[in-house]
Structure 1
Amino acid sequence: MQGYDDATYGEGFADVYDDWYRDISDVRTTVATLAALASGGRVLELGVGTGRLAVPLAAEGLEVHGIDSSPAMLQRLAAKAGGDAVHQTLGDMSGDGPQGLPAGPFALVFIAYNTIFGLPSAERQRDCFHNVAARLASDGLFVVEAFVPDPTHDASPRIAVRSLTVDRVVLGVSAADPSEQKAHGQYIDITETGGVRLRPWSIRWATIEQLDEMAAAAGFVVSERWESFDHAPFGPDSARHVSVYRLLSPRRPPASAR
C-alpha cells in the first residue's frame, strides 16, 4: 500500500483501538498465562499499542517493557491508569540498535494478536526472531499469537459493514494477494459531525511452518502450542495459535547482518 509505513496503523487506530478491540481476547486469561510464563522475570511486549495487555501485566507486579512504532499508541498507553508502570520504547520491534528493541535480558517476550504480521516482509519477521533471541535470558520464552492462514479463503476484494448507527457508519474495504502473502485495507469511518476518517491497515501473513522455520533459524524450538491463551489444545481445525518458543542453540546475528 503506497505511503504506508510502520507508524501508519497506530496513528490511524489509536483513538478507537480500545473501543473496537476490547473483546478480541480474554484479557484476564491472557495476562494470567503470560505472568505464569514470565515466572516473575522481566517482560517485553512487541507492538504494545495502548497497553491492553501490558498495563494489567504490570499490575501483577512484573517489570514490563513495551515497544511500538506509533507515537499515538504510546500516548494512549501513557495516559491510562497504570500506564506509567510500563517502560515505553518508540522504535522498530524487528530492529537492533538505538531505534530497536530495548536491552535485555528478558524472561518473556511476547507479540499478541497477529501483530507479527504487521512487519511487512519475511526478512523483517526473521530479524524480529533473531533480535528477540539476543535479548532473552538463557531460559527465556518468546510467545507469538496469530491466526492460521486458510489457503481456501476467498481472496477477492470485499466491502463489509463493521458498524452502523444513526450517526456513524464504519465500512471495511480489503484486498489480498495470496502469492505475496499480503492483505491490506481501509476502515472508512463516516460520522454525522466529523466527516470521513480513513484507517488503513496492511499485513504480511506467515504460516505456522514458516514461523517455526524463522524461529529455528534464530535458535528457537517450539516448547508449547495452544489454540488460545486458556491452553485449549491446538489441532488441525484451529483458526488461531499461541506458539511458545524457547532457546535451544546459541544466539545468532540477524539475517540482515550476515
Structure 2
Amino acid sequence: GREKFLTVELIISPEISDRILIIEDVTDLVKAQKAQAWKEVARRIAHEIKNPLTPITLNAERIRRQFKKGNPEIEEIIDKAVDSILAEVEVIKRLIDEFRKFARLPLPEKKLSDVNQLVRNSLEPFENRVKLKFEFEDIPQIPVDKSLMREVFINLIENSIEAGATEVTVSTTLRNGKVFIVFRDNGPGIPEEIADKLFAPYVSTKEDGWGLGLSIVKKIVEDHGGKIYTVDRNTFVIELPV
C-alpha cells in the first residue's frame, strides 16, 4: 500500500463533554518537502563538483597549449598539471563516497549492548587529542548496532576537536524509559548562522568538509528509534529507547 503521513489533534473543551479528534492527511505536503530537500542536495552536489572541475579544465588546457608550442619544459609542466588534476579528482571521489554513504546507510542490526562501555571504547582512542570526562549512570543494556553507534560517537568527538575544544564530557542517564547520551565540550560552540539547519545535508563550517557528518549521525540515531538535538551551542543530546 501507499505510505501515508497524518497529523492527529485532539480538542477537549471544558464547556462541553464531547471531544473532537482531527486527523489530517499531510502526505502531499511531506512529499513536497522531501522533494525540495533533495533538490537542494542536488544543487549543492553540482556546486561542489563544479569547483574541482575548473582547475582540472585549466590544467588540461595548459598541457595542450604548451604541447602545441613545443615548450622544452613540457615534461615538467605535464607532471605538475597531472598532480593537480589527480588531487582534484580525489576531491570529487571523496564527495561521491560521502554522498553514497549518506544515501545508502544500512539499516541497524541491533543487539543488546552496554552503551556505557560502547561510548568509552569508541572515544578512548581520542584521549591523546582531547581531555575526556565520563559521567555514567548505571543503565540497562539497550538494542543498538554497535558499529553504527560507534560512528555517531566518533563523529561528535571529532567535530568537537576540529572546532577547537580541549575538553569533552560525555554523560549517560536513564529517564522515563529512555537513555540519554550527552556530549558537552568547552569549544567555541555551534555558529549561530547554522544552528537551525545543523543536521541538514551539506551544512558545514569546515573548509574541506562536505557537511554530511551530522546528517549521517541524525539518520543513524533515527533508524534506532531515537532523536538527536542540541540544548545549547556546546551540547548534543542523543535519546535512545530502552
In the superposition, the TM-score normalised over structure 1's length comes to: 0.20
Which one has more relative contact order, counting CA pairs under 8 Å at least 6 apart? 1
Question: Larger % of helix: which?
Answer: 2
Q: TM-score, normalised by structure 2?
A: 0.21
